Structure 1
Amino acid sequence: MKIVVVGGASTYTPELIDGFARQHESLPIDEVVLVDPATDRLALIAGMGERMLRAGGRPYRLAYTEDLRGALDGATVVLIQIRVGGQRTRANDESFPLESGCIGQETTGAGGLAKAMRTVPVVLDIAAQVAEHAPDAWIVDFTNPVGIVTRALLDEGHRAVGLCNVAIGMQHFFARLLETEPDEVRSAHVGLNHLTWEAAVDHRGEDVLPRLIATRSEDIGHRVTLPAAVIDHLGMVPSYYLRYYYHHDDVLRELLDGPSRAEEVMRIERELLDHYADPSVDQKPEALSRRGGALYSESAVQLMSSLLGSGSGVHAVNARNAGALDFLPSEAVIEANAEVGGGHIRFLPTPALPPSVRGLIAHVSAYEKLAVDAAVRGGRRRVVDALLAHPLIGQWSLAEQLADRLIHENSEHLAWA
């Protein structure tokens, strides 16, 4: 079994290398190939990976290259984890919307659309090469914005599924609250990528979410950075990303007053790269837990094991709605629990959702459709259409201002600009 990691020079990659090694029995990989055009950084990451594998008994081979086409030969899975333009463009995504009084965030609002505009064409080019050189391979997309990127891949007919670590993070959080093991807990995870709710928490056949909310709403609120009153009112647990909707003005003030997440991530990445360059380091450093993407390798291995193995499992994935949420079109892409096995993905029945949640999901899903259209076909008018449809923007003057700024900031990455 051969796994190709596109974006292999990411500071996330040692997390993957470690996870693939630790879970080798459930996913018996023969070879992992890291692909990235940033050759100096790629060699640094690969060197760190080699030391980790030697320390852990080397259960698989590790190679690295800048040649995607050469790497794809015989690939079973192609995992995509790229950031077009690097952290500099992320900093722009987080800053330019603030000047118009809008949330600045890399996957939500105007910043999220900017990232999609840069990313979707590049991912589709990668996928076209996968289709030519490894036509039987699965594409697993971890590149944000995952829902939009996955929809673009599926619209082009690629064998793709999107993956995010929010669901597994919440599973482990609930397990800690219940003082049990994560595999004893399954939450009813439902919504869109970075717009999800935990509508139930099953522990040994009982939905314990009402009890958890009644007794631990402060802890839950702290975990998702929202007031406990929001959790109590909803009777569900929204993801961290819902703070941009439920607490918009407070978050906007925080973003205007404080350092950006991009600045923090750049500091962490410099620290990580220093660790990776140290020839004595052969274990993933603590700083990696602050980078984001916690439990990324766990979710990736579990998903790939079900996709490729003889058994099946339940995983929170991004895939075609296909009737799972009856208030959305079948071609929409949602994020929810699905039974995955034998190359098939089927969403499990979803809990009943209140009208306020259904409405917000439908609104953002409509925006995502327009975002894919703008990213694939280009043009200022399509950018304005997508921004006008986003519930955090929705005003003509703002949509026009943000469209012009988005195009200006990203012109080197937009073939049509």
Structure 2
Amino acid sequence: MALKLVIIGGGSSYTPEILEGIIQRQDTFPVNEIVLVDIEPGKDKLETIGNLGKRMIHQANANINLSWTLNRREALVNADFITTQIRVGGLQARSIDERIPLKHGFIGQETNGAGGIMKAFRTIPVLMEIAEDVQEICPDAWIVNFTNPAGIVTEALLNYSNHKKVIGVCNIPFNTQHSTAELLDVKPEEVLIEFIGLNHFIFGKKVLVSGKDRTEEVFDRLIHRETNYTPANIMPLDWSETFIQSTKLLPNPYHQYYFQTETVLEKDLQSYQENGTRAEVVQELEKSLFELYQQPNLKTKPKELEKRGGAFYSKVACSLMDSIYNNKNDVQTVNTQNNGTITDLPADAVIEVNCVITKDGPKPISIGKIPSPVKGIIQNMKAMEDLTIQAALSGNYQDAYNAFVMNPLIQDEKKAKVLLDELLEAHKAYLPQFKQ
């Protein structure tokens, strides 16, 4: 059976990784048509990626027809899978999300705090439109979303769009699995981590290696700083022995924003003063990547792509699509509806959790209760995510303010308004729902 994949945000620097993943899986996941989709401002990048993709396919002697277009609805006809990797407002919008909070003494980050909320405000309405197009044109297709904030966006689509075949993916579980394998000197496929929590807010509850519990050994090695599983977009910080031994949980790199806030803010402000925002650093990296992509002798994904913070998102997405198509019943960590998996969260909440991947989608593996040390903050985060989705869809100022003031990285009723007002003004071109 031939398959059609549509990549929305096809002009992204990450796209060569998706193409590589599809090429490598030709024997098991027979995609024979790929359409890259983007918008007018991304036309030049889309063409660059398209030409590189053609060279990659030719080099691999793969039977894949690759094309690109600015017409999304036309591209979606007969699609089997759709991946979404968009950035509404581009890296300039990300820079604003980072710069304004830092100016006011708050964490400035693209998926956490005020910046993460603003990205959700810009992104959710656009992806809702995409989901409605999918439901109308190719209702049997799966949307695999790795547009951030992935968990919030996936929940908005599952709970408020008419299209329900939506799964969110993230590279943090992948990175954590591979770093843990390196720490224990075993193969990544031998490692299974029981994750609990939300996108960018998951904890590792248990580490199994070929079925054997080695959680305490991982904790011990982490305490003695024998590994670093921090992605390129986050500055690595150590975790104290007290934190690890008291919580009995494996943190992920994003937790430093919440549990080491003062230290992170200090380092971020220093980095901002010396190098500008992370977005500005990424703009330079993107520039060099696209210069590479334009070289006619480049016929494979360049190693330099791994310097981007979201590297390996695409690998995760390709593995997921392969498993759905082949009904593999393997275990992967994805963003999907809770439905009783975590008993302390609502049924329709989207969580990041280990699932058995079937032809009918992910089947979450039951976890039970949230560990007591982190129960309160996970519930707080989930409530804040709900407020963010509500505001993104309503365009109501009070809804937006509630999301800001209840975010653990803000929680200041006066400064929340200052931040919100300034960010709404800065992003007004991409926030038509906030008319006042």
- Pairwise same-fold verdict (TM > 0.5): yes
Letter in 2 for 1:226: L
Which position in structure 2 is the counterpart of 1:347?
364
- Is the 8 Å Cα contact of residues 26 and 62 (structure 2) preserved in structure 1? no
Equivalent residue, structure 2, for 1:267: 284
Of stretches 220-229 and 117-126 in structure 1, the one that deviates more from structure 2 is 220-229
Partner of 1:201: 207
Query: Quick check: 2:344–2:369 contact (8 Å CA) kept in 1?
Result: no
Report which stretch shifted further, 100-109 or 351-360. 351-360
Letter aligned with residue 179 of structure 2: F
Are 2:86 and 1:73 aligned?
no
2:239 aligned with 1:228, yes or no?
A: yes
Write the letter of the residue equivalent to 2:324.
Answer: L
Structure 1 residues 309-324: aligned runs within 5 Å: 309-324=326-341
Tell me whether 1:285 sits opposite 2:302 in the alignment: yes
Worse-matched range after superposition: 5-14 or 202-211: 202-211
Residue 351 of structure 1: how far off its partner (Å): 6.7
Distance of 2:28 and 2:380 partners within structure 1: 39
**Aligned counterpart, 1:237:** 250
Q: How far is the alpha carbon of 1:406 from its aligned partner?
A: 1.7
Q: Say whether the 8 Å CA contact 2:135–2:162 is kept in structure 1.
A: no
Give the corresponding residue for 2:9.
Answer: 7
Write the distance in 1 (CA, Å) between the matches of 2:387 and 2:202: 20
Deviates more, 1:100-109 or 1:230-239: 230-239
Distance 1:353 1:330 in 2: 14
2:233 maps to: none
Q: TM-score when scaled to structure 1?
A: 0.97
Q: Could you tell which deviates more after superposition, 374-383 or 218-227?
A: 218-227
> Matched residues in 1 for 2:108 and 2:372: separation?
27
Matches within 5 A, 1:96-107: 96-107=100-111
Contact 1:171–1:187 under 8 Å retained in 2: yes
For residues 362 and 192 of structure 2, the distance between their equivalents in structure 1, rounded to whole angstroms, comes to: 18
| Residue 352 (structure 1) shift | 5.4
Provide the secondary structure at the position in 2 that maps to 1:401: helix
In structure 2, the CA distance between the partners of 1:77 and 1:220, relative to structure 1 (3 Å rule), is farther
* Runs (5+) with no aligned partner, structure 1: none
Distance 2:77 2:149 in 1: 28
Paired residue for 1:40, among 18, 33, 44?
A: 44
User: Residues 240-255 of structure 1 correspond to what in structure 2 (within 5 A)?
Assistant: 240-255=253-268
Q: How many residues align?
A: 417
Say if 2:19 is the partner of 1:17: yes
What CA distance in whole angstroms lies between the structure 1 residues aligned with 2:319 and 2:246?
34
- SS of the residue 1:349 aligns to: coil
Q: Which amino acid aligns with 2:11?
A: A
CA-based RMSD of the aligned residues comes to 1.5
Of 114, 123, 126, the match for 2:127 = 123
Deviation at 1:40, TM superposition (A): 1.5
Residues 393 and 216 (structure 1 numbering): CA distance in 2 closer, same or farther, change over 3 Å?
Answer: closer
User: In structure 2, how many angstroms separate the alpha carbons of the residues matched to 1:25 and 1:233?
Assistant: 47
Contact kept? 1:308, 1:343, Cα under 8 Å: no
Partner in structure 2 of residue 190 of structure 1: 196
The farther-off stretch of 6-15 and 212-221 is 212-221
Matches within 5 A, 1:371-410: 371-410=388-427
User: 1:3·1:75 contact (CA, 8 Å) conserved in 2?
Assistant: yes
Amino acid at match of 1:97: P
- CA drift of 1:29 comes to 1.0
Alpha-carbon distance between aligned partners in 2 of 1:147 and 1:237, rounded to the nearest angstrom: 20
Letter in 2 for 1:349: S
Q: Tell me how far 1:216 sits from its aligned partner.
A: 4.1
- CA drift of 1:221 comes to 6.5
Q: What letter corresponds to residue 250 of structure 1 in structure 2?
A: T
The reply to whether residue 326 of structure 1 matches residue 326 of structure 2 is: no
User: Is the 1:220–1:228 Cα contact (8 Å) retained in structure 2?
Assistant: no
Shift of 1:171: 1.1
The aligned residue for residue 168 of structure 2 is 162
Shift, 1:214, TM fit: 1.6
Residues 390-417 of structure 1, C-alpha deviation per residue, up to 9 Å, x if partnerless? Answer: 1111121022111101211110111133
Which amino acid in structure 1 is aligned with residue 4 of structure 2? K
Q: Cα distance, 1:193 vs. partner?
A: 0.5
| CA deviation vs aligned residue, 1:271-296 (integer Å, no higher than 9, x gap) | 10000111111121121000122322
Partner Cα separation in structure 2 for residue 61 and residue 202 of structure 1: 41
Asked if 1:213 is matched to 2:215, the reply is no
1:267 Cα deviation after fit: 1.2
Aligned residue in 2 for 1:256: 269
Q: Partners of 2:92 and 2:317 in 1: how far apart?
A: 27
Asked whether 1:180 is paired with 2:197, we answer no
Deviates more, 1:68-77 or 1:55-64: 55-64
Question: Are the counterparts in 1 of residues 175 and 229 from structure 2 also a CA contact under 8 Å?
Answer: no
Aligned equivalents of 1:414 and 1:215: distance in 2?
46
Q: Tell me the secondary structure at the aligned position of residue 186 of structure 1.
A: strand
1:108 aligns with 2:112: yes
Match of 1:132 among 123, 133, 136: 136
Show the counterpart of 2:315: 298
Secondary structure (helix, strand or coil) at the match of 1:17 reads helix
Q: Is the 8 A contact 1:2 1:76 kept in 2?
A: yes
**Is the Cα–Cα contact under 8 Å of residues 337 and 347 in structure 1 kept in the other structure?**
yes
Report the CA distance shift for 1:92/1:20 in structure 2 as closer, same or farther (over 3 A). same
CA distance in 2, matches of 1:80, 1:113: 19
Q: Which moved more, 1:367-376 or 1:96-105?
A: 96-105
* Inter-partner Cα distance in structure 1 for 2:332 and 2:313: 13
Question: SS of the residue aligned with 2:29?
Answer: coil
1:366 to 2:383 alignment: yes
CA distance in 2, matches of 1:387, 1:11: 31
